[in-house]
A and B are shown apart, each in its own frame.
Chain A
Amino acid sequence: MTPVEPLDTTTAELLERFRDGKIPGLARAISVVEGERSGFQSLLHTVMAGGPQAKRVGVTGPPGAGKSSLVAAAATSYRERDERVGVVAVDPTSPYSGGALLGDRIRMNDIAMDPGIFIRSMATRGSLGGLATTTKEVVDLMDGFGFPRVLIETVGVGQTELEITAAADTVVVVLVPESGDAIQAMKAGLMEIADIFVVNKADRPGSARLVKELRQALHLRAGSALKDIPAHHGVDLGQAMKKERTTDAPATEPEGWSVPVLTTNALTNDGVDKLLRTIDEHRSWLEESGQLEVRRRDRAEGRIRDVVNRELMRIAWRRDEVVDLLREGVEEIAGGEETPYSVARRIVEVLLR
């Protein structure tokens, strides 16, 4: 394997503690990776050498939907099966102060003391995809540390935070009646990323309606809503919708996975066992259909691009020559002599020289 950079002594010592299964070693390794402190690349390189092993489950959905509560409930059940669980929970960094209030652990107090559970909170630090820039790497660390199951909770998402697909094998989208109707889920792109839908807070009014709407929307997406309507009738939407209302079977995805819509009550654990069984079924499907391999390859490609991009940026802006050109360029633009494009061109030429 191509080496990355020589291991400095601090990183080597850290790796030793990590490999000995010491929790503080894992905790510090995460800080090193999160802060991109020196040695982080060789650390990841070493830890990832065995390839991905853990089953990675992402939990996403709007603020307050019950993601943390469900993660806690799921982790409890995994522990009953004697599976050790790593949890990464992401909350937003305040764009004003750069600080963050990380509160996901509040819902996880019942499981926090279990030595088979490791929980780490992360702030987004300016990243916009619903995860922190290095959440995927932190999941790799937990995997490499030996957690067979890693649960990833995203920030409360709005409409564009779909990074979770790059970190998880199975994506669970949690909605609640209060978070809006199925149209909003469609607009947000959640239909595309969900492997499993969960309508949480099933104890609240409106959940049955949301379940029905989601099933309809999934059928529409799978293209099955109109398929039984004879073509010579044209497409009678009224009839299509009527037909739709009678269909309760899960819609089938093109690749052969039917996205189920489940209901849970994270406070009473109702529906949580079913959710876990469904996550297992999705796992089997991933493995048998070859999709797991496809997803892992996609992730590997994405990661290589990320690392190259970040490294190139670092190399570029670290060079005094480039920073000088930038400063001069700003003046020249102010004087009307250049545009950002001509300055950028000059900088790129210097970098490629």
Chain B
Amino acid sequence: MSDERKIRILVAKPGLDGHDRGAKVIASAFRDAGFEVIYTGLHQTPEMIVNAAVQEDVDVVAMSVLSGAHMTLFPRVKELLDESGADHVLLTGGGIIPEDDVAALEERGIGRLFGPGTPTTAAIEYVREWFAAQNTA
């Protein structure tokens, strides 16, 4: 118990597009930050993402959405997480998402979303701070 608790994070790549370079980059960055990263590959449905998040008992789900479907995918995953009793899980992610949409999604209980230019360190810091706040509260 002297060890601090590891942050477990699911990096998920929903949708039909065949590019997961971004997801892999962020997955390795999280690993190098000391997180335990579960990566499940391409073409994940919201149901698959939430199923894995529950079984793996992750603290965070990070989705990479480049397809433009962020306004449906993020709320859907959030909804399924809540239904599965995993409302304590932080849902965050990144992709090409306009500022207005980011704000709208945040209002629906989704965590911060990061644009394509953001350095991975910003996402790492965000997750760390969120996690620390959870565990002191």
CA distance A65 to B32 in the complex (A): 25
Known contacts A27-B56, A36-B1, A109-B48; A99 and B31 CB within 8 A of each other: yes
A123-B55 contact given A24-B85, A101-B27, A113-B48, CB 8 Å threshold: no
Bound CA span A125–B56, Å: 16
Which residues from chain B contact A93 at a C-beta distance below 8 Å? 36
Which residues of B (28-49) have their CB < 8 Å from a CB of A?
28, 30-41, 43-44, 47-48
Q: A220–B55 Cα gap in the complex (Å)? A: 44
Chain A min CB distance to B137 (Å): 16
> Which stretch in A114-122, A199-207, A340-348 binds the other chain?
A114-122
B40 touches A109 (CB 8 A): yes
B54 interfacial contact with A, CB 8 Å: yes
A351 proximity list for chain B (CB < 8 A): none
Q: Confirm or deny: B125 has a beta carbon within 8 angstroms of a beta carbon on chain A.
A: no
- The answer, yes or no, to whether B99 is at the interface (CB within 8 Å) is no
Write the B15-33 contact mask toward A (1 if CB under 8 angstroms, else 0).
Answer: 0000000000001101111
Say how far B135's CB is from chain A's closest CB, in angstroms: 12
B48 CB contacts on chain A under 8 angstroms: 109, 112-113
Interface string of A121-160 (1 = CB under 8 A from B): 1010100000000000000000000000000000000000
| A106-B41, A113-B48 known; A99 vs B36 contact (CB < 8 Å) | yes
B51 within 8 A of A: yes
Contact A102 B84 (CB under 8 A): no
Dominant secondary structure at the A interface = mixed
Considering only CB atoms and an 8 Å cut-off, how many residues of chain A contact the other chain? 31
> Roughly how many angstroms separate A123 CA and B27 CA in the complex, as a whole number?
15
Contact, CB under 8 Å: A112 / B37: no
Mark out the residues of chain A between 72 and 105 whose CB falls within 8 Å of any chain B CB in the assembled complex: 93-94, 96-103, 105
Alpha-carbon gap, A204 to B52, bound state (A): 32
Contact of B54 among A24, A35, A94, A99 (CB under 8 A): A24
A303 nearest CB across to chain B (Å)? 20
Q: Are B55 and A31 in contact (CB under 8 A)?
A: no
Instruction: Compute how far the CA of A118 lies from the CA of B57 in the bound complex, rounded to whole angstroms.
Output: 12
Q: Which B residue's beta carbon lies closest to that of A106? A: B41
- CB-CB under 8 A from A37, the residues of chain B are 1
Q: In the assembled complex, how far is the CB of residue B33 from the closest CB belonging to chain A, in whole angstroms?
A: 6
**A101-B41 contact given A24-B86, A28-B57, CB 8 Å threshold:** no
Report whether B57 and A105 are in contact in the complex, using a CB–CB cutoff of 8 Å.
Answer: no
Q: Which 9 A-B pairs have the closest CB atoms?
A: A106-B41, A99-B31, A27-B57, A99-B34, A98-B34, A31-B57, A101-B31, A105-B40, A102-B38
